[in-house]
Structure 1
């Protein structure tokens, strides 16, 4: 699954769902009126039961095996079971099912329950699933029937499976060998664990197979998980579709199942859909036929799948159009008016697939791939086997309307999901603890694949920014978590779909790729996939395959598991301090855990890692060879005396930042780096990734108190002559934290003047004119620099942007004609809204309601938060919590993030969240969404009283949100500590370099 590029929700682990958004009111009834109502209600129940019984489809367990076929014949009085032996077709025996009275009990809900694993006495082998969704207003439900062939692993008299928000009508159990019914005497629902437990009258025998038949009804919810409904408008007409999103624990909302990743089974799926709609599922359609009782419905029957996990099952019912590449069995689906925008996804998808087949050395095992762009989708995308589902913004690209960077986004997300077809789908983690095996690998391979297909984009350089440096910020918190971490309930599982599993997972795979070499790494990956295909695995299986590959090629002398467990089973990452003795030539390499809060350092010094150390010197300037020249093998420090280097020559460690650690140096070496970077004729001798690393490491070492901020800021001064995107982006991110911290202070003006001096040359060089076929990297570079310049009130930038926005507003038909280049719109729109008032804001809001292009809608959602008018910001937040506003529920976090992105909007957003917490909880229906909202509205808090307010709010209202809310508290505490320790140092430095500023003395 792909995360959103902004703080989007990833998973939903909410156990309880309230479908109402209305407030509760009291009603008082008389006794006589109450009696009448009860009688009417009872009669209605009887009538409803009669209708459901007569019109519900009959449970089937056909196509079970070559040996046995069981058919159910529906009759109003009885259910007949017909075992048909293929060996002797003349032998037919009828078994009439007995009428069982099943005692049903429900356990109390218990939030403290941690052990949510299913018993191991039953394993599912095959599911035969039939669903009939009712996709029209007033009846968003679905009827279902499932026959599951199960194998008993140990003698038992219980059958336990998952089910949430499903109403069961009939449950039956039969012996597969002879079709005899096994009497069920009790059904218990364990709400806390989302279990349904069947107690049988007789023991189920180990080694034997049984058939479990269940008919049920479910709800097409509007919470973007399970089997849910979605609405969009085309030609001013409402259109409803039904969609699935099951990762991690939501298949159980669509059908009764064994909803754990290791419990793979084959699926034969049939979907009944209105004749004017189309269904798509994991496999190819093998048959269509008229529905037996619904004249306007058609059955789509799909081929049996390969063994797969329940979370990868997928089906959609839509009125979408499609385009196909028949040569490669590839198809794309989207709203009919948006379908042309799927052309690029259809073009690059088969290229990515072909590359990955060669990369993994394993052919894609399914007969087809469908990719579908959905109007409502909580994640960025989802890797369902053979049916990849996407948020529209992640799959649709419109040349001339979408920014150039959107093309790279589509390519990356498509590559990510296709990479999952092997890592995750073919081989699946045995439990969610190792979800990084899925997400980390897909996050790494997406860059490898796109870099191979779109070579000019240089995405492997961008990897360091997006994955390595980005995840450092989260992993520097003590409330971070291990890559491989024990999780139990759905909330805990959902919480690990974060930057640690994705970003850190991908970063350590890249590190391993570099110290093992491509040949060894790729050979080990192929061996791992072949050994575990169609099954499940743990990380030790991957380590074993890589160790064997390394030993066969005599490329690495250590056990890969010993090395990598130090990275996956420990929280955090190290900072490696390189200290040179300039008299003796001895160099010391010392490691300790890097943490953000100074007062937590000593308590975490026990952590040590196996660190691959690569380096180069001023004499070598070898930034190509990334293999380690030495190792810290779990040692606190090592001393080396065989490195030849002059006293006035610099040394740089961690070539191309392939290792997942920061580097600190002694002060003299830092000074040598400052000197070479500020030499305009020689700074490019250092690789651009390492220039970015030097900026990012130094600024974060200063942030955590390990380096004098004056040294770090001196390093940033070289940016005035930097031309490359990667170092500039690292600099803007690092300086952006100072921007956030100083934005409410008295000396923000000095900060602005300093950064504008750095920017001026690069802004002038890039300019506002965009060349034809401009590279993705250059386009992103321009966006970052212009938006920063305008944010800092660069006069020419503001004037240019306001003029362009005003001209667009004066256009007679602004929705049809917009001369602002797509790459400039994010800057121009934001400045236009910010500089104006209600008129400019309403113009952007009207464009948002009118436009259908996903990238433009997403952009407008962000820029609507740029206004400085508090009443408009409050209005925008209110609109985000209304179903009828035009803002989709999937975009709620984006709205709060947009409002909270300025010093004006942040307290408004935080106060709004506190005042409307219960309403927010009821509306979004998702723990992960609440965590994301809380994160974005608190990122600017840096005062003691703000931290105390946050702690009080968390304690009173949201202490149950788990690890993410602890991370919010720790990050805020770090902001407060930063202000206390670094604010005055930075102000003094800025005053020193800003010759135009009035001089002040410390208070």
Structure 2
């Protein structure tokens, strides 16, 4: 009945839709349609909220390239402990025993502590968090005569006053640790495993410690007693004949890891070296992940120049890869690697390309952290960008090679990983680096507090760091990857010495300067490009400032262009002079494959050695540079004309078509460019089928759509179908050439395009998309169950659409039955179903679903809870309102059940992206400005203030642009008569055939 009613509505709607001739884009004066009920954006308030004392902006002036440099004197890079200066833990010996009730671990820490002469009178101090100290014994110099002392615990600091002064103390500390479920410290999942993840500051959840990364211990030893599982894996080999004590590691404590488990070793991707473990009962999901792991292991050994099995003496020489069912966390432990199931296990013969894309990158980056994060670790967490950047850069390089066939072969099943890096790393970073709350890659001051560390290392650096390294690699040399060479040099010079017990043998942490020096050493060799004088002077403005430049290109007759540089951001920012690597090509001789810059320019420049002949010019080939490009009116018109002609559109590389669209929309969002330019480019999308371009379109149009819909709903005189009318113009080629269902000849990239566009089109009620989704939802042999043969790439759109169209309440029971079927769905397919629940327009169901995520007996694992919340907040303005109500009333419960403060903060930033009108903004503001006893934000208050700054920036955009955007679409959306008639006939024909 649901399908019949939907088809009838579609037929009727299609027959009465107005068909008009395509009108030319019109320019008009700014018109304000409606004012939102929000508080205007105020820069002075934001500066106070964003803790600018921890950020520093620098400018290089008078930098002559390549004839001279203005060397910047570096500030003091020495970082010290914020726990107690003059105190060193020479050795940690940690003993952990499973408690009898299986809910806690009994711990004993034996610490060898040394203090400096001038601090001997000060109490000893250690971080603790969430552990209960039972007793403390102290010995002076040795443990021959131990004395009981009573410690003080203040603000998660364990303070011990020795009975008399000495230079060395032996401490015996007994304590209890609750077993967690959120992926940090010591945590467990049912009867599958118990694990220990101490990164970055979670060692304090397991034992009293000094866990700043630059505070290295000569020996850290763990003794795991009766963890309750047959198999136990950790960084090092067992010590001697012991079955519980492992060889010590040197260095910072956050690098230790452990997994005790009852999982199955289902395959050995590299015999005798690499093993993959999965939950009992899982079959036929390991093939693709296993092949990727095998390829990456060999590739990373070569790429790093350091064999994994030989990293340190006493290492467990294997690599144990665990597909864990419940948590998704970055993992930095040597010889062990935990990856959430959806990002490593997939159906062997029927997996979604979207899942494969996510898995290939997650596995590669996770394996790369065996080198970049374990061997190389930061001097202070403000230098984590070096580690994160190298790990992601190396990961994408090996993933790209894994997906690149030999030159003589074509493989339609492969994914264009270069496109994925450009879209998911560079363009994603450019977006979030433009917000007012963006931080520099390297903060001005060392950071020690967990909330500051979380905000920094889990934020922008994950995309901006590898994006800058990619641009730098292309700048420095045509012949050699000097980023790879620098990484290899750092691994050789900073890696762990094999002698554990000499005090000068501890591994050395990595600083930003170390990377500069390593890059510069390679650049000064004959392979260097010679385009700059000094790598540090080039990189520092990019690294130590938020934001990035945009270039404005102005036509200079037919013989050249002038280029001016400004700093980009969605709000005004002070000027910074960047040295920008330039690549460009022209329409009379297009060449998009030479990605190596030919010059580096700063401030104003002139290029007068190219001849245009009235054609276009494009800068930043394939979008590999970390900057945006604006053009004067004439050059934009030439580009739009080329994009709108089916004979010339393909002359422009798909990644540059994506970058042109992305740049135009973001320049308009920042008020630099009028919205007529990006929308005229949207009209040319009717010729587009490439994934990269549609990804850029949807990323930018989703921002507008989320705000345009409530804007229209608030005014009865406005057309509620305004966005639908624009999409109708853009989607022509996708419907004609790709269609809504596979035809058996899809490439991987075509499948990605169909899935991406279908999710977007069905979300806004595009008729042919909805008809296709509704038609294939039910099993043809049993109309009460979900069709098992829905193509994997279409399932998110099909499930979501059916829930929106579910007037007869038949889709939800069918999806719930699918979720609970036996044999169970894969974790990825389960997640697809759970996220589709967010599409329901039943407010009672959405409210109950949110409540289920925090219930004690919740049916969802930890990671699923936060994903459900994000899906609900992103699905519609009504569901965003429900999510915000839930968030403001349950912050502490979310913290406790979603996975700690990190996941609460994820929810806050997700909410910030989906607060689309003034009413929601005011509710968010009232929440975070209330007393902490009401807000329950705790140490996440800084994140909430930053999220509010982002919301206010977007609210100002609403005020400035929504009226104009509505008018432009209203005046310029009409398609050609042929296209409208053709689509109408196709829609009616499909519906009638299905009805019969």
- TM-score, structure 2 as length reference: 0.80
Instruction: Give the structure with the larger strand fraction.
Output: 1
Native 8 Å contact 2:98 2:106 kept in 1: yes
Shift of 1:481: 0.6
Cα distance in structure 2, aligned partners of 1:979 and 1:559: 43
- Out of 103, 106, 119, which is 1:140 matched to? 103
Q: Over residues 521-572 of structure 1, what are the superposed CA-to-partner deviations in whole Å (9 max), with x where a residue is unaligned?
A: 3222221221111320101100011111111234334221111111111111
Q: Which residue of 1 aligns with 2:666?
A: 700
Aligned alpha-carbon RMSD (Å) = 2.8
Which stretch shifts more, 691-700 or 884-893? 884-893
Q: Over residues 385-444 of structure 1, what are the superposed CA-to-partner deviations in whole Å (9 max), with x where a residue is unaligned?
A: 111112221221222454232222222111101111121111110111111112222222
* Aligned: 1:261 with 2:213: yes
* Aligned: 1:845 with 2:789: no
Cα distance in structure 1, aligned partners of 2:920 and 2:134: 53
Which stretch shifts more, 449-458 or 891-900? 891-900
Structure with larger RCO (C-alpha < 8 A, sep 6+): 2
Cα distance in structure 1, aligned partners of 2:696 and 2:160: 54
Q: Over residues 256-276 of structure 1, what are the superposed CA-to-partner deviations in whole Å (9 max), with x where a residue is unaligned?
A: 232122234444333223665
Check 1:811–1:842 CA distance in 2 against 1; reply closer, same or farther (3 A cut): closer
Shift of 1:143: 1.4
Native 8 Å contact 2:194 2:227 kept in 1: no
Native 8 Å contact 1:146 1:255 kept in 2: yes
Q: Which residue of 2 aligns with 1:346?
A: 290
Q: Which residue of 2 aligns with 1:550?
A: 523
- Aligned residue for 1:861, secondary structure, equals helix
- Aligned residue for 1:450, secondary structure, equals helix
Q: Over residues 760-814 of structure 1, what are the superposed CA-to-partner deviations in whole Å (9 max), with x where a residue is unaligned?
A: 3213322344466954322211210222222232323222222322327936876
Cα distance in structure 2, aligned partners of 1:578 and 1:197: 64
Cα distance in structure 2, aligned partners of 1:812 and 1:987: 42
Check 1:565–1:115 CA distance in 2 against 1; reply closer, same or farther (3 A cut): same
Matching of residues 777-788 of structure 1 within 5 Å: 777-788=749-760
Check 1:682–1:813 CA distance in 2 against 1; reply closer, same or farther (3 A cut): closer
Cα distance in structure 1, aligned partners of 2:896 and 2:491: 43
Native 8 Å contact 1:471 1:499 kept in 2: no
Matching of residues 302-381 of structure 1 within 5 Å: 302-305=246-249, 307-323=250-266, 324-325=268-269, 327-338=271-282, 340-364=284-308, 365=311, 366=315, 367-379=317-329, 381=330
Q: Which residue of 2 aligns with 1:280?
A: 233
Native 8 Å contact 2:846 2:879 kept in 1: yes
5+ residue gaps in structure 2?
A: 1-78, 405-413, 497-507, 713-717, 977-996
Cα distance in structure 2, aligned partners of 1:200 and 1:741: 65
Cα distance in structure 2, aligned partners of 1:197 and 1:552: 54
* Aligned: 1:226 with 2:185: yes
Native 8 Å contact 2:891 2:904 kept in 1: no
Q: Over residues 809-852 of structure 1, what are the superposed CA-to-partner deviations in whole Å (9 max), with x where a residue is unaligned?
A: 936876xx822222221111111222115442233234324434
Cα distance in structure 1, aligned partners of 2:884 and 2:176: 40
Q: Which residue of 1 aligns with 2:466?
A: 506
Q: Which residue of 2 aligns with 1:247?
A: 199
Cα distance in structure 2, aligned partners of 1:510 and 1:373: 30
Native 8 Å contact 2:127 2:158 kept in 1: yes
Shift of 1:286: 5.9
Cα distance in structure 2, aligned partners of 1:164 and 1:416: 29
Cα distance in structure 2, aligned partners of 1:773 and 1:496: 44
Q: Which residue of 1 aligns with 2:513?
A: 540
- Out of 317, 328, 353, which is 1:404 matched to? 353
Q: Which residue of 1 aligns with 2:675?
A: 709
Native 8 Å contact 1:155 1:204 kept in 2: no
Shift of 1:693: 0.5
* Aligned: 1:202 with 2:165: yes
Shift of 1:179: 5.9
Q: Which residue of 2 aligns with 1:576?
A: 551
5+ residue gaps in structure 1?
A: 1-113, 232-238, 290-298, 998-1003
Q: Over residues 728-786 of structure 1, what are the superposed CA-to-partner deviations in whole Å (9 max), with x where a residue is unaligned?
A: 21112222222212122133413212212321321332234446695432221121022
Cα distance in structure 2, aligned partners of 1:854 and 1:492: 32
* Aligned: 1:685 with 2:644: no
- Out of 448, 456, 463, which is 2:421 matched to? 463
Cα distance in structure 2, aligned partners of 1:272 and 1:808: 56
Check 1:809–1:532 CA distance in 2 against 1; reply closer, same or farther (3 A cut): farther
Shift of 1:932: 2.0
Check 1:521–1:240 CA distance in 2 against 1; reply closer, same or farther (3 A cut): closer
Cα distance in structure 2, aligned partners of 1:949 and 1:169: 44
Cα distance in structure 2, aligned partners of 1:922 and 1:274: 24
* Aligned: 1:668 with 2:634: yes
* Aligned: 1:525 with 2:484: no
Q: Over residues 167-220 of structure 1, what are the superposed CA-to-partner deviations in whole Å (9 max), with x where a residue is unaligned?
A: 3344445577x765576766333425x344453513206xxxx65443332211
- Aligned residue for 1:866, secondary structure, equals coil
Cα distance in structure 2, aligned partners of 1:181 and 1:568: 53
- Out of 694, 700, 718, which is 1:734 matched to? 700
- Aligned residue for 1:260, secondary structure, equals coil
Cα distance in structure 1, aligned partners of 2:287 and 2:145: 53
- Aligned residue for 1:681, secondary structure, equals coil
Q: Which residue of 2 aligns with 1:587?
A: 561
Cα distance in structure 1, aligned partners of 2:730 and 2:253: 53
Check 1:978–1:840 CA distance in 2 against 1; reply closer, same or farther (3 A cut): same
Q: Over residues 80-126 of structure 1, what are the superposed CA-to-partner deviations in whole Å (9 max), with x where a residue is unaligned?
A: xxxxxxxxxxxxxxxxxxxxxxxxxxxxxxxxxx9972334333444
Shift of 1:318: 2.2
Shift of 1:627: 2.5
Q: Which residue of 1 aligns with 2:905?
A: 931
Cα distance in structure 2, aligned partners of 1:273 and 1:959: 36
Shift of 1:345: 2.7
Q: Which residue of 2 aligns with 1:453?
A: 402
Shift of 1:941: 3.0
Native 8 Å contact 1:125 1:150 kept in 2: yes
* Aligned: 1:833 with 2:803: yes
Q: Over residues 474-519 of structure 1, what are the superposed CA-to-partner deviations in whole Å (9 max), with x where a residue is unaligned?
A: 2111221111124231111111133411001111011111101334
Shift of 1:330: 0.5
Q: Over residues 690-714 of structure 1, what are the superposed CA-to-partner deviations in whole Å (9 max), with x where a residue is unaligned?
A: 1110000001111111111111111
Q: Which residue of 1 aligns with 2:475?
A: 515
Check 1:357–1:888 CA distance in 2 against 1; reply closer, same or farther (3 A cut): same
- Out of 759, 783, 793, which is 1:823 matched to? 793
Check 1:723–1:813 CA distance in 2 against 1; reply closer, same or farther (3 A cut): closer
Shift of 1:221: 2.6
Matching of residues 78-157 of structure 1 within 5 Å: 117-134=82-99, 138-150=101-113, 152=115, 156-157=119-120
Check 1:977–1:405 CA distance in 2 against 1; reply closer, same or farther (3 A cut): same
- Aligned residue for 1:356, secondary structure, equals helix
Cα distance in structure 2, aligned partners of 1:617 and 1:792: 38
Native 8 Å contact 1:740 1:940 kept in 2: yes
Which stretch shifts more, 936-945 or 243-252? 936-945
Check 1:647–1:813 CA distance in 2 against 1; reply closer, same or farther (3 A cut): closer
Cα distance in structure 1, aligned partners of 2:382 and 2:780: 51
Cα distance in structure 1, aligned partners of 2:975 and 2:631: 33
Native 8 Å contact 1:577 1:665 kept in 2: yes
Check 1:911–1:528 CA distance in 2 against 1; reply closer, same or farther (3 A cut): same
Cα distance in structure 2, aligned partners of 1:201 and 1:339: 62
* Aligned: 1:983 with 2:962: yes
